[in-house]
Amino acid sequence: MKRPRIRILATGGTIAGSAGSALRRGYRPGQIGVEDLLASAATLEIDAEFDGREIAAIGSQDIGWREWDALYREITAALEDEAVDGVIVTHGTDTAEETAFLLDLALPAGKPVVLVGAMRPADAVGSDGMRNLANAARVAGDAGAAHRGVLVVMSDHVFAAIDVRKAATGGTEAFRGFPRGPIATVTPTSLDWFGPADRLGRPARFPWPESLPKVMILTAYAGMEADTVGCALASGAQGIVLAGLGQGNAPATVIEALAAAKVAVVRSSRVDQGSVDRNLEVDDDELGFVAARALGPAKARILLQVLIASGITDPAAMQSEFDRR
């Protein structure tokens, strides 16, 4: 049986991080290059063939358009290469959900594309990086991973990009999924899917943009003042995501300022988990707002950026995209 050929695209992060001591708390991300990652993977005797490309060597808090554009182009080339069976992106955990979701919106649901990271640097006691990488290889080389969109592998679980989020600042079990939890469990020697692939034949949802417009996230809090909206607009924001209280709410003066703004407004929630629905406490129909539904503020921002870049600015059309799964 032919061994799967997997391309690893490295961006840095904790999985490539080093503390210089097994017990040191602080560390620097992105210190281990892709060739060293490949060498470490080789010692695990993973049943796959690898090649690698280094996109960046940064912490994911610094990732942005330049890295995303390079990743998209490298992944597209890999998906078009008949010799490549799947792609792994090594990535920091802080913004993994944003990168995964952006790529998921603009890639066809064909060969497996898997993001993987680590919560502990490579030289720490109990480092999870190599186990996560071995798990990601198991997923990326599995025919059952095709036609599921972009996936994220962490802590022996597989998450869909649209569901995944980082829900804890520390610990190897930091990732969760909403509204679905994990869609599979994985170890270096096993993989169990919880259901069939649901995107067979689905093309890319959006074209890859030439750039992403500026969209700001405003977090609501008790006593929030309306001038925060003006500050966002003055900075050149073409859209605003409200990380609102509860069901995406905010003080009345802030809601009024958002309604008066001449930009797209999406209501999400600062609450870790739950949906924001239309027309509950806030009259979205009257005010021209969009409800983020199950997307948290970070992903709502990504989708709003892509929508604006694609020329979709009508609130009703935007809402239909936020309603999609």
Residues classed as catalytic: 14
∠ CA 41-42-46, rounded to 5°: 75
How is 225-239 classified by DSSP, letter by letter? -THHHHHHHHTT-SE
> What pairing do the DSSP bridges indicate for beta strands 264-269 and 290-291?
parallel
As given in the structure block, the two tokens for residue 7 are 């391309």
> What pairing do the DSSP bridges indicate for beta strands 157-160 and 184-187?
antiparallel
Q: What is the gyration radius of the CA atoms in the chain, in angstroms? A: 20
Place of tokens 């008790």: 222
How is 117-148 classified by DSSP, letter by letter? --SS-TTSTT--HHHHHHHHHHHHT-GGGTTS
C-alpha 126: how far from its chain's center? 25
In contact, 99 and 91? CB cutoff 8 Å: yes
As given in the structure block, the two tokens for residue 120 are 């502990």
Work out the burial of residue 202: count CB atoms within 10 Å of its CB; fewer than 13 is exposed, 13-18 middle, 19 or more buried: middle
In contact, 322 and 266? CB cutoff 8 Å: yes
Work out the burial of residue 63: count CB atoms within 10 Å of its CB; fewer than 13 is exposed, 13-18 middle, 19 or more buried: buried
